[in-house]
Structure 1
Amino acid sequence: MFKGISDASQGIRGDHNQQQSIRGDNNQQAAGDVVNKTVNHNETINLLVMPEQSLVRLPSQMAAAAVRLSMAIDASPEPSPHDFRTYDIEQKLSYNSVEAYRAWIDDYGAYGYAVDAAYDALDEQSPGARSKILRHIRAKYVRVRTELASLAPRGTGVMEIVRENSDKILELVSREIGSEIRDSPVPGMFVEDVEFPANAITCHAFINCKILERPSP
């Protein structure tokens, strides 16, 4: 079962243990503040807000996070068939009923370049690393969607499940990515620096249509 998916039927709730993902053990200031967003069924999504001045450190954080995530992947899933249908991001946000993560995805221009740069550098050292990570994230999404479908009433359609749980899906995937980055044996990253890159990597995957559903024509 996907790590954390047991929360799916009860919603995602913040607690003190979850806050440890953005706070170090040496009283360092966290990378940003956490805000609570209420979405479908009054469920609470906890999102990190990154102060503007912290964006200066983003390229180095993303580079470290990409290396750690790549090292955490044991095997790359098989690529899924490519879908050449075009769409714009606003259309995909609306189609999937994304609410809590909308601001993160709207601000993609502030951090997307750093994710791409980190993947490009990683590809130079390990060809195919970008594709491996994106397929890995796609497999996480499919697993979460399948588990949520198993909890839904019989006959519930895939898009209904996705729309009812889109922000929850994004949070579960981001949380799992964060755990893999945090638990990696590769040195050089503080625990309080993990959550922002994990969210950035998740939203990059959304933009590249590895998470949630592509709008119908």
Structure 2
Amino acid sequence: MNGVTKTVAITHLAGNVNIGDAPEYQINSAINELLICLASKASPYVRLNRKPTAETIRKIDHNNLRAKSNIIKQYLEHSSKIEEAYVDVDALIPFGKDMILQNLNGFYCAALDELNIEYVCEAVDMNKIRANSIFIVDFVISKLRNFVYESMNKPAYKENVELGINVVVAHAFIECVVMENPDAP
């Protein structure tokens, strides 16, 4: 058998080429600490029929996010746990909650950039936000999922990751870190 040669031709390179694990895979992330803390607060599953507050419904309608009600429902079932998990993260990492929320807002801004929606020099066009709201939330979830799996300190179970990501993104939505605040000028 002849030796097999594998060749990769790289033409226009704008960054590093890593063979094997990239260096960022060797670094812990604050968001993963949050997901680990959230998973440690697990309790027997009890289906809660909590309804969102009028303010939350207003945010959902303002941002046209009825199609993402599933993550809001997951958040409502875990809302007290996420607040406790953020307290635990802040105890482990100075300003951990702020770091996580800034990162989520960065993912949101990246989604707006992807859609060419202006948000720095002028007011956000709510018609464009509303028309693309599902894409925006899915984009944030996708970016967060990649970020979580590319960090060293991953939660032990995929179910913890998936549920945690939905709850964290919904919490960021409720806090108006991701998507737009109906009370903003």
Question: TM-score per shorter chain, which class?
Answer: 0.5 to 0.7
Q: Over aligned residues, Cα RMSD in angstroms?
A: 2.5
Displacement of 1:198 after TM fit?
0.7
4+ aligned runs moved over 4 Å, structure 1: none
Aligned to 1:132: 99
Aligned to 1:101: 68
Matched, 1:64 2:36: yes
Query: Which amino acid in the other structure matches residue 117 of structure 1?
Result: E
Displacement of 1:106 after TM fit?
4.1
Of 86, 89, 98, the match for 1:119 = 86
Instruction: Say if 1:115 and 1:201, in contact at 8 Å, map to a contact too.
Output: yes
Identity %: 24
Aligned to 1:162: 129
Displacement of 1:147 after TM fit?
1.6
- Distance in 1, matches of 2:73 and 2:56, equals 9
- Distance in 2, matches of 1:188 and 1:214, equals 31
- Relative to the length of structure 2, the TM-score reads 0.63
**Aligned counterparts, 1:182-197, within 5 A:** 182-197=149-164
**Aligned counterparts, 1:12-27, within 5 A:** none
- Alignment coverage as a number of residue pairs: 132
Instruction: Say if 2:89 and 2:97, in contact at 8 Å, map to a contact too.
Output: yes
Query: Which amino acid in the other structure matches residue 182 of structure 1?
Result: Y
Which structure's residues are more often strand, by fraction? Answer: 1
| Cα pair distance change 1:192/1:89, threshold 3 Å | closer
Displacement of 1:190 after TM fit?
2.5
Aligned to 2:176: 209
Instruction: Say if 1:141 and 1:169, in contact at 8 Å, map to a contact too.
Output: yes
Of 89, 96, 113, the match for 2:56 = 89
- Relative to the length of structure 1, the TM-score reads 0.54
When Rg is computed on C-alpha atoms for both structures, the one with the higher figure is 2
Instruction: Say if 1:66 and 1:122, in contact at 8 Å, map to a contact too.
Output: no
- Distance in 1, matches of 2:135 and 2:35, equals 26
| Cα pair distance change 1:65/1:168, threshold 3 Å | farther
Instruction: Say if 1:206 and 1:212, in contact at 8 Å, map to a contact too.
Output: yes
